[in-house]
Amino acid sequence: MRVHPVGLALVVVVVLALAVPAHAGAAPAGTACSAVAFPARVPSSTIQLSEVEADPVLAGADTANEWLELRNISPSTVILLGWSVADSSSNDVLPTVTLAPNTCIVIAATSAGFLSEHAGYDGLVIALANGTIGNGLGNSGDVLMLKDAGGAVADCVAWGNGTGCFSPTVPATPANTSDTLQRKPSPDTDTAADWSSAAQSVCASASTGVLLTSFTGAPAGKAGVRLRWRTAAASVGLGFNVWRSARRDGGFAKVNRRLIALRAGTPAYAFVDRVPRRGRTLYYRLQVIDGGGRSRWGGSLAVRH
């Protein structure tokens, strides 16, 4: 739970040179709130924000229990590589995740916080590394943005006294209830009309791909380079290949003889590349083989060895 300083809203108003009342409180009697014109955006045709829980059923600080939902509305599989979510003051890069057509995924501030209110949920939950969505979503108002790998806003929603995305905003959900902000099934118009407040309806379908949450490497003495990576325990796929090069820009060759099989329920993996130590930098790429045999690069890194 986070309270947005009124001063920040006033600064935004001055910068945009818009004569509108600050969102920090109700408009004085006899005045009317004017619609604010934000830069035009093309509605997302692939990944959308579909549900947001900014005010969980928890009195006091509730940041750890906040969550949101992303949905792939396109007819094709989409790989979220380098995408992020942000509120009005902070940005969180998402782990690489593959979303098949018409599937959705939960992004939670913390797994423990989400599962404490959704015991028995068996879908895939992505927990953010710092334990908060942005700087913590404001109960009375905030903005939530989904950004692609280039930093462009692919989708967003603003509620209550939040600023950004569109105006008027969506009314904030009733305090400490099970209600969430939910996207309506109608076409996306990038206005408050796209959203409503209703009893939460958590994503029922999970990603069908391999979710890679980390990829690291370090020298393993004279034995070579030890690579480690982690996946979501619920990931589905075939396995991994490790590729190495002495050049950043090419010349990669596969170094594992057999596919490193993905094991159901096992999130941690390790592989030692037995290469002589020569005081040089080696470049690695991790190839992910999804359940349908499709291949993609899941991560890259450089190791001084």
Q: Are 134 and 145 in contact (CB under 8 A)?
A: no
Number of domains in the chain: 2
Predicted confidence at residue 162, as pLDDT, reads 95
CATH (domain of 46): 2.60.40.1260
**Which residues of the chain have a pLDDT value below 50?**
3-37, 206-208
Contacts of 17 (CB under 8 A, 6+ apart): none
Question: What angle (nearest 5°) sits at the alpha carbon of residue 55, between those of residues 66 and 159?
Answer: 105
Among candidate residues 48, 96, 93, the one with its CA nearest the CA of residue 209 = 96
Do 159 and 81 share a domain, yes or no? yes
pTM for the whole structure: 0.59
| Best CA proximity match to 213, nearest among 97, 90, 297, 125 | 97
- Partners of residue 295 on adjacent β-strands: 289
Q: Are residues 235 and 191 in the same domain?
A: no
What was the pLDDT predicted at 238? 79
Residue 207 lies in a domain: no
Write the CB contacts of 20 (distance below 8 Å, at least 6 apart in sequence).
Answer: 13, 33, 34, 36, 167
What is the Cα Rg of the chain in Å?
Answer: 22
Q: Which domain holds residue 291?
A: 212-304
Hey, what amino acid is at 115?
A: L
Taking only the tens place, the pLDDT of each residue in 133-160 is 999 999 999 999 999 999 999 999 999 9
